Chain A
Amino acid sequence: MIRTIIIALLSITTIGAGVWGYKENQDKNAVLIQAENSYQRAFHELTYNMELLHDKIGASLAMNSRQQLSPQLAEIWKVTSEANSDVGQLPLTLMPFNKTEEFLSQIGDFAYRTAVRDLEKKPLSEDEVKKLEELHEYSREIKNELRKVQNVVLKDNLRWMDVQLALATNDEVGDNTIVNGFKTVEKTVDGFETTELGTGTGSSGPDKQYKFITGNEISEKQAKKIASRWLEDVDQSKLTMTSSGKGADVPTITGSFQDGEKNGYIDLTKKGGHPLTVMISRPVKESKISLHEASNEAKKYVKQLDVESLELVESSQYEKIGIFRFVHTKDDIRYYPDAMVVKVALDNGEVLGLSAREYFNFHNKRAINPPTLSEEEARSRVNPQLEIQEHRLAVIENDIKEEVLCYEFLTTMEGTTYRIFINATNGNEEKVETMKKSETKFNEEV
């Protein structure tokens, strides 16, 4: 009797487990297929877009009329950004694959810049046409490689999930057609990169960074002293100092300490011992002082820096902390690239941080030409529907990374504030920004 019951029970549980396992397995497969499909989609779209890109570049080379060329270049720009987003969805980040993305964004930049230019007045130069031809050639190679991989993927039913697993579990991927195919693509792009696109894109490279820093090399002992001064005179024996590795844009010495609930961190440049990043972290209590008082603390703090005059341009309160942004001003001209930020705790006004990277990266003795446009002329270039509230001169970096002197106008229209920069030399509208800093809280349950 008991035996039959046990047998019955056992068989029921075995069958139950089997059914459950089968269900579970099915669910897992469904999810895997879902993920696989989204990879497949990104991949096939990428090959399609590369093909399209190749065609479009070819067509733009064949084009004679300028009116047609601009829209064509704009089209190229659009396709590159789509291809770029496809690459971003493929599981390849940890492979050295990002060159392709870079390549795409460079074509995009090139196309954008030539598309927005008035090609009637300034047609494509010999060099640019040559560049376009090169681009055409490279896109052909990439496209062919991708088509080859695509063909194998379709013929052999290769799955991206396998690549994913191979990448996740071990480093040696071995004989994997997809990965090998992409490595070839990567090599092609690599060859292209050495020929230089020469559009002067945003990735300016490490040699151009922090080139204006002045001062002598500091020793570790000096660094300790400086670090302690910035970190509220902490005992020098408590500081741990390390030097940056060879990947750093600018050689730095880092000091840090841990003291109960408080810890501090500072990055000093080796050359000159300037503080790039200062951070002190501790629990901040209920805020007691106003943002205004805190701004005075911040002003006092930046005075300690051995730098030329700074002006507070922006302050904002984030519950218990105040963030203050300063820029360099000289002769009533604001230099927006030379910025630094100070963080102040609103419980007792203690300065909790300084970020001066931008300041030390950009600040230098510039030769800025006086404006050739009068303020009245600049004013007339502002959309007449805007009501101008404030104006001043300012130096900003425009979208092709040049520093330009501009008239800055703070204007309002229907309750919204806009900031307009009019180039003080040629009257171009360099930048228009919507000033929005706050956002309505969503229905949150805190």
Chain B
Amino acid sequence: MIWKKTVIIVLGFSMMVMPLSEWTNVKPVHAFSNQVIQQGATGDDVIELQSRLQYLGFYNGEIDGVFGWGTYWAVRNFQSEFGLEIDGLVGQAVKDKLNKASNYDEGFVKEQIRQGNDFTYYGGVPKEQQSDQGQQGQQQGQQQENEVTEQPDEPTAVNVPSGYSQNDIQLMANAVYGEARGEPYVGQVAVAAVIINRVSSPSFPNSVSGVIFEPRAFTAVSDGQIWLTPNETAKEAVLDALNGWDPSGQAIYYFNPNTATSSWIWTRPQIKQIGKHVFCK
């Protein structure tokens, strides 16, 4: 008697759980937020946009959450095919058409992104065939399993200023943090700008790493402070400098007048002082 009861309870329980989990996984109708999406944007909306465009066969690139050139051309093709104004902007009209024409299985796409799989999302193709869980993918999946709670499904790519990589930015942030972490924000941008000015100057090496690691160029490199972990401010300062801000006035040298040992540096024509640093040509 008691066996029967248990079996029934277990069965009932599993029946209750199973369809529920299925149901939460499949959420076919998911609406974009009501923001206009344009080139250069990143985030959830872009993931959905790319998935829907790929579902319809307009977009063949990676679903990475960054509205780059590939996505831009896909949007334009979609607009021309559906008789919309061709401007590469994703407004309400485009979203409505997309919603009508395609399915978006958010659960599937997000799951793939979370696990770091190589995947596609074409309509009419079984999903199992579109996810390539190679060995690496599986390993990554397992590794990331623990991190899922901390790291929600974010885009898997980021915008970078043209010509620079995330690692260059990191290296520069290290240098800026080591050199000027006590300085006001503007002073940090100026130090980053000096690095960039040196890269383009004929008197200095032609790469970020060359400039930073030139012997005796930066004290933070000589005394190892460059290997401290930079904070977000330093990173933002570097991004600003890479995007064109230069409060130093095209300086290629700077020094701290209180600690500078070389008398030669005082002979350089000075431009201005920001915080503790004097910037010069």
Please report A residues at the B interface, Cβ cutoff 8 Å. Answer: 39, 84-85, 88-96, 98-99, 101-102, 105-106, 164, 167-168, 170-171, 201-203, 206, 242, 244-249, 252, 254, 256, 258, 263, 265, 267, 277, 279, 281, 289-293, 295, 314-319, 321-323, 325, 339, 341, 343, 353, 355, 357-358, 389, 412, 415, 417, 435-443, 445-446
Contacts and interface: CB of A to CB of B under 8 A. Distances in A.
B38 A291 contact: yes
Contacts of A417: 69-70, 73
B85 interface: no
Interface in B226-279: 236, 239-240, 243-247, 249-251, 261-265, 268-273
A190 to B, nearest CB: 13
Contacts of A98: 203-204
Interface stretch (B4-12, B23-31, B95-103, B156-164): B156-164
Interface residues of B, number: 77
A345 to B, nearest CB: 11
Contacts of A201: 202
A248 B216 contact: no
B280 A437 contact: no
Q: Is the interface of B mostly helix, strand, loop or mixed?
A: loop
A279 B247 contact: yes
B119 interface: no
Contacts of A322: 40
30 contacts: A85-B205, A101-B202, A101-B203, A102-B203, A164-B216, A168-B216, A203-B201, A245-B271, A247-B249, A247-B268, A247-B270, A265-B247, A277-B247, A279-B245, A291-B41, A292-B35, A292-B38, A321-B236, A323-B243, A341-B244, A353-B240, A355-B243, A358-B244, A389-B76, A417-B69, A417-B73, A441-B155, A441-B158, A441-B166, A442-B167
7 closest residue pairs by CB, A with B: A247-B269, A290-B35, A98-B203, A91-B215, A417-B69, A105-B202, A292-B36
A266 to B, nearest CB: 9
Given A164-B215, A244-B271, A277-B246, A317 B265 contact: no
Interface stretch (B14-22, B126-134, B183-191): B183-191
A357 B244 contact: yes
Given A94-B262, A441-B166, A106 B41 contact: no
B185 A263 contact: yes
B135 interface: no
Nearest to B71: A438
Contacts of A438: 64, 66, 68, 157-160
Interface in B44-85: 45, 60-62, 64, 66, 68-70, 73, 76
B151 interface: yes
A234 to B, nearest CB: 15
B79 to A, nearest CB: 13
Contacts of B245: 277, 279, 341, 343, 353, 355
Given A293-B35, A317-B40, A438-B158, A202 B214 contact: no
B147 interface: yes
Contact of B270 (A92, A105, A246, A389): A246
A73 to B, nearest CB: 18
Given A170-B261, A203-B202, A353-B240, A246 B166 contact: no
Nearest to A315: B40
Contacts of B107: none
Nearest to A91: B215
Contact of B250 (A249, A295, A325): A249
Contacts of B89: 292
B113 to A, nearest CB: 11
A267 B247 contact: yes
A252 B273 CA distance: 12
Given A291-B41, A417-B70, A341 B217 contact: no
Contacts of A265: 186, 247
B185 A441 contact: no
For A202, A203, A291, A319, the residue with the greatest tally of chain B CB atoms inside 10 Å of its CB is A291
Given A106-B202, A341-B245, A439-B160, A248 B73 contact: no
Nearest to A433: B162
B189 to A, nearest CB: 7
Contact of B185 (A39, A93, A281, A437): A281
Given A171-B263, A247-B270, A441-B157, 15 more contacts: A93-B217, A101-B204, A170-B261, A171-B261, A244-B249, A244-B271, A247-B249, A263-B186, A279-B185, A290-B35, A290-B37, A315-B41, A316-B40, A318-B239, A438-B64
Contact of A246 (B39, B222, B269): B269
Contacts of A206: 281
A263 B184 contact: yes
A433 B269 CA distance: 37
B246 A248 contact: no
A248 B272 CA distance: 8
B249 A267 contact: yes
B182 to A, nearest CB: 14
A389 B69 CA distance: 11
